[in-house]
Amino acid sequence: MSAFPRLRLRDPAIDLVELPWELPLEEWSAERLSFRYVPVGPSRHLVRFLVSSGILYALKELPLGVARQEYEVLLHLENLGLPTVEAAGVAEAPARDSAILVTKFLPHSLQYRRLMMRLPPGPASYRSRLLDAMAFLLVDLHRAGVFWGDCSLANTLFRRDGDRIQAYLVDAETSEVFPSLSDGQRAYDLEILVENVAFGFADLAAMQGWDESADDAIGAAERVRDRYDQIWSIIHDEPVLHPDDRQAIRSRVRHLNELGYSVDLDIDPDADDGRVRLRMSVTTRRYHARELERRTRVRALEGQAGLLLNDLNEYGTWLEWSESRAIPADEVAERWLRDVYRPTLARIAAAVGPARDLVQAYSDVLEQKWYLSEREGRDIGLATAIDSYLALGAPAPEMLGRDGDPTALLDPLELEIDPLELDPLELDPPELIPSWPPTPYEAPGAGPEIDSRDGGGRDGVEGDGDRRAGDGADDGNPSGMAPSSP
């Protein structure tokens, strides 16, 4: 009998203590345990997926030192609130010089191949969003002193975030944490990413039969470098301005806010000719998410929050126009929640199903509204957009699966069709420039109101990793609402 390893498990993975940790992972019985098939790419190490208490875990057997380092890096990233999978535990077996690392599978996420294969042909716009997501992820890691070492599409999970895509690190085997990174370390890590992204796109284009050359894949990958350099420069720029030029200061702050960053200002009068040097300290990319929660108690991802805030502001503008009076922001928010947000969730919840992100579905309704309004040349109203969205079957690239099964979106077993052969989403909707005066803001049709204080429902907002940082939600709350104050 093999010796029992040193086992560290984090809540809620405590029930995993019953697993046969004394055995190598390949010897764990598939007949006794709830393993699931998850179509992942090639891996240097054995990876198996297991469901326990409704949660899908990834178990990876690694050399002991590598596993220890990856576990510590993931904990470090989690503590900083950076986008990564959650480390659930590690079982160290020094006698075998190996360890089993346990992570929670990221809800509502897809690998890049499956994401791109499930989107409409000609994936240029979605590819641009994916490349943006990779650039932002690498910037976030480098700002935190993390050298990834093997940054690639294959080592990343992607999740739709409003009209954007969010990237999450899932493999930190080669990652190291430093107080800060040198320009050389950053450049080397970026070079690895560009090379791996080019290979990934070329491989996918060949698999899908897209009319793209290797040069096209290389050119797309180089845009990650360009976008990374642009973001890094904006964040670290220290312009010298005239102290009376407050508009220039506001403009730079607004630009960072639009990228999702909150900003602390440091205006230092150390420049020549009486001018000042502007230094901006940026935080994690949750500016809109925090603003949405402050105004409405709704918790969402950053991209989702941007769309919802636009919807809230548009509704407030219509209210003031229709009632010919100034309306306090608190009243606008409460009426939006009562008359627009909650009724919309109630109407679409059944079609969306329990395994999907309900706030993302609301964002998709807003995208459908923009698309139809642009086509019609007028604002078609929210109720019409909901009807159209439901008539399409509430489509989403991550939608396939059996209701109530946490692995249904991942597990192709027991399906009669290829899980990758899905109907595409509607074409990417261009943004609508609203006409003035606005047409009456149509409220959604009747349906049972969902109140965040009911305490029932399901997750549809943010993964647990963001909640640990104090910004996200995964508390079984159908409307994504933060708890009300007593």
Q: What is the per-residue pLDDT across 273-332, written as a single tens digit (0 to 9) for each?
A: 667 777 777 777 888 999 999 999 999 999 999 999 999 999 999 999 999 999 999 999
CA distance 237 to 37: 47
pLDDT at 351: 92
Tell me the pLDDT tens digit for each residue of 423-475: 322 333 333 333 333 444 555 654 444 433 333 333 333 333 333 333 443 43
Q: What tokens were used for 189?
A: 């890590």
Phi, psi of 443 (to 5 degrees): -80, 150
Instruction: Pinpoint the residues of the chain covered by CATH 1.10.510.10.
Output: 112-236
Tokens 């730079």 sit at which residue? 252
Nearest 10 degrees: CA dihedral of 14, 19, 20, 25?
-100
DSSP assignment of 111-156: -HHHHHHTSPSS-HHHHHHHHHHHHHHHHHHHHTTEE-SS--STTE
CA distance 38 to 405: 14
Determine the average pLDDT of the residues in 119-145.
81
Determine the average pLDDT of the residues in 217-230.
89
Determine the average pLDDT of the residues in 325-343.
96
Name which residue leads in pLDDT, 469 or 159: 159
pLDDT at 457: 33
pLDDT at 238: 76
Tokens 């450049």 sit at which residue? 187
3-state secondary structure of 35: strand
Superfamily of 6-104 according to CATH: Phosphorylase Kinase; domain 1 (3.30.200.20)
Which of 45-49, 193-197, 354-358, 471-475 is predicted least confidently?
A: 471-475
pLDDT at 90: 96
3-state secondary structure of 370: helix
Quick check: 347 and 382 in contact, CB under 8 A? no
Which residue type does 214 have? Answer: A
Instruction: Pinpoint the residues of the chain covered by CATH 3.30.200.20.
Output: 6-104
Name which residue leads in pLDDT, 132 or 261: 132
DSSP state of 471: S
Confidence band, pLDDT 50/70/90 cuts, at residue 153: confident
CA distance 61 to 63: 7
The pTM score is: 0.77
3-state secondary structure of 46: coil
Percent of the chain with pLDDT over 90: 48
Q: What tokens were used for 161?
A: 């975030």
Most confidently modeled range among 167-181, 226-240, 404-418: 167-181
pLDDT at 444: 62
Q: Does position 244 have pLDDT exceeding 80, yes or no?
A: no
112-236 classified as CATH 1.10.510.10: yes
∠467-469-474 over CA atoms, to 5°?
5
Q: Does position 257 have pLDDT exceeding 50, yes or no?
A: yes
Tokens 């205006």 sit at which residue? 267
∠441-445-451 over CA atoms, to 5°?
95
Q: What tokens were used for 384?
A: 């019409």
What mean pLDDT value characterizes the chain? 79
pLDDT at 178: 94
CA distance 196 to 190: 10
What number of CA atoms fall less than 13 Å from residue 4's CA on the CB side? 6
> Measuring CA to CA, which residue among 449, 454, 450 is closest to residue 483?
454
DSSP state of 406: T
Most confidently modeled range among 29-43, 121-135, 312-326, 424-438: 312-326
CA distance 213 to 313: 44
CA distance 225 to 229: 6
